[in-house]
Structure 1
């Protein structure tokens, strides 16, 4: 149980089986496992860019390769499919000079990625990548002529020279084309990333909320629906639940403590894509987490990628200083929390900051801490494993 200082961890249904501080560069962001290899992108303050670990021993991780981010940049996102590793390059905290685009690595040796390609995004670089293999990757980026992040489709037919196939932006963002963006005071309209279901993309657009796009013509994505809400903002992930006409949508908290509005994990009905509507909200962790330091609120979801653990009603969500939360969405209007995990606070931090989650097909669970905690491998207890298997697709 958690002590009065909030430094001790707590868990229900989950336990830690391995941990690595990434060679002392513990600012872990996105994590992804493929076979025995684990890839971690770093937030940026440490200067490290990407780490590769050998996870062949379930109880012990071995750091086998790291490389730094380019000067003035961070490379905090990783995506793996079709024998390739994609890594973003984005200006970090106003750094000059910086690298802007997306690097493509060959994984002939999964523990020794070799760069073979490059996508030049122009502008300030690529923020988030969604790459599940096939012809297209989907990225958010700030190309030249735009005031903030837009959504870009990248043709990966030749991974050595990826090219842009299409783009969509919120009207007004193309300042280079003479547009003027009208945004409420204190708000930011910026693409984060979209998850794709067939020819439909569900795009989180910061304070603009959820945007539903028809991408049947990848060269000309078109908006078919939109939904925003209060309180919240900073819409991040819009996860379609297979076969249910439902999305799980997180609004990323970007303030610390009690600053800013509450942020939620919403369940959105998209049976009519032109008129999405909220039907449920996942129960948040206790309010006491507001006072434990750093960020408290939702962030990333396990995204049901092909080849990973997939479920239409069990959802894994990171909550920064409240750790990892697992929700049962069988009744979409009344979600319930069925498990949680929070580590001991890493030394030198005010609180844990659990950032990303990835769940493998064999039920291994991976999370990162964005400050200094590195990467953790978790295991579900017998009851949660049984539930996960029962609800797996």
Structure 2
């Protein structure tokens, strides 16, 4: 496999340019290739869109990725579908291995040698968990409280957020919508946790922190929602939930909510709990790297040339960002870029450390032979990316927007 950053870091080029992406064949057409390696593609004409990428590495080294289906022709509001894919060659090629009925916004993770899938059964649904002992080909069936139905009172929201182990427990951010109307503002931040050695299919082993509402008066009155929270161990050793903040202002923020050590209480100080976060108005995943002693994320930042109100709707730039303390964030390099914001997006990235590299699955809205994505949000691709030697990257390695997305 080529490991030079210039071959692996893939720019989203304008339609007049052709690029050979690692793992793809050269195109004879004048349009651009989608950046990365295509895991799945669903044309916009189907009325079904690709959402909620998730990624895991099996004990044998194989990669597993998943995404759900949303859109007007999907079943997201009744019983959602998720597709699962596997790669035996470090992401170079992918094969669909299963389809899960009743899985939405769900996280793949490996624990004690088994693969799990955790999330709602539909848009604002119940919380289910499934286990696979064969790498994602077959899954347990959640039929009751001892077989994977963790919460059956509905109205849960999340994205495929990290599942982490800390202080002998597994932790995973989630939200509960109450009252059950509207998008966003009624989402209450919460945290699911369970003893690390427990039967994860048994609801009795899981604790749900009391969901914490937000307030429209926070952040100077610019508080549309908080959502898609990350379970993260802060520098002081305490567990926090770091959430996306929906704002109208171009100033993107994240909210840091404290979680009690027993996993039962959430607390937030609006005077100190908001931090500047590049890409904070879109979903992001945060992970800590013991080698660099930094927190890292792949976030859909807003490039200076696209700075505008409602930054949650600007997703055409993907960047590598990091922080020493969760409060001060720096853009290290720009990974993907396309000059169009209306029909191109690199978003909802799930990613993992892989030695000196980062591997990632991206919900990508991009050109195809049928006219491209419906819009930036309604993605038509699931793509895989490898960022080599990520700790060494600087802004000098960035994709350049000055040549329609090419690098200087």
TM-score category of the 2 structures, normalised to the smaller one = 0.5 to 0.7
Q: Which residue of 1 aligns with 2:302?
A: 321
Per-residue deviation, 1:209: 0.9
Per-residue deviation, 1:273: 2.1
Q: Which of the residues 114, 119, 137 maps onto 1:140?
A: 119
CA contact (8 A) 1:320 1:354 kept: no
Q: For 1:1-393, what aligned pairs fall within 5 Å after superposition?
A: 18-21=9-12, 67-69=40-42, 71-76=46-51, 77-82=53-58, 83-95=61-73, 100-105=81-86, 107=88, 110-116=91-97, 118-122=98-102, 125-132=103-110, 134-142=113-121, 148-158=124-134, 159-164=136-141, 165-169=147-151, 171=153, 173=154, 189-193=156-160, 195-197=163-165, 198-205=168-175, 207-214=187-194, 216-221=198-203, 222-228=206-212, 229-230=214-215, 231=218, 232=223, 233-241=225-233, 244-251=237-244, 253=246, 257-258=248-249, 263-266=253-256, 268-278=258-268, 281=273, 283-284=275-276, 297-304=281-288, 314-316=295-297, 318-321=299-302, 324=319, 325-329=321-325, 335-342=327-334, 346-349=338-341, 355=347, 356=349, 358=351, 360-364=353-357, 370-372=364-366, 377=387, 379-381=390-392
Per-residue deviation, 1:112: 2.8
Per-residue deviation, 1:152: 1.8
Quote the Cα distance in structure 2 between the aligned partners of 1:299 and 1:167.
Answer: 25
Per-residue deviation, 1:74: 3.6
Q: Deviations over 1:5-64 (max 9, x none)?
A: xxxxxxxxx99983243997xxxxxxxxxxxx98xxxxxxxxxxxxx669xxxxxx9966
TM-score calculated relative to the size of structure 2: 0.56
Per-residue deviation, 1:300: 0.8
Quote the Cα distance in structure 2 between the aligned partners of 1:155 and 1:359.
Answer: 20
TM-score calculated relative to the size of structure 1: 0.58
Relative to 1, partners in 2 of residues 1:65 and 1:344: Cα closer, same or farther, differing over 3 Å? closer
Per-residue deviation, 1:370: 4.5
Relative to 1, partners in 2 of residues 1:120 and 1:298: Cα closer, same or farther, differing over 3 Å? closer
Per-residue deviation, 1:296: 6.4
Structure 1 unmatched runs, 5+: 1-13, 25-36, 39-51, 55-60, 174-180, 182-188, 287-294, 385-393
Quote the Cα distance in structure 1 between the aligned partners of 2:93 and 2:264.
Answer: 45
Structure 2 unmatched runs, 5+: 16-20, 26-33, 142-146, 177-186, 304-317, 368-382, 396-408
Relative to 1, partners in 2 of residues 1:282 and 1:53: Cα closer, same or farther, differing over 3 Å? farther
CA contact (8 A) 1:151 1:169 kept: yes
Relative to 1, partners in 2 of residues 1:348 and 1:205: Cα closer, same or farther, differing over 3 Å? same
CA contact (8 A) 1:75 1:88 kept: no
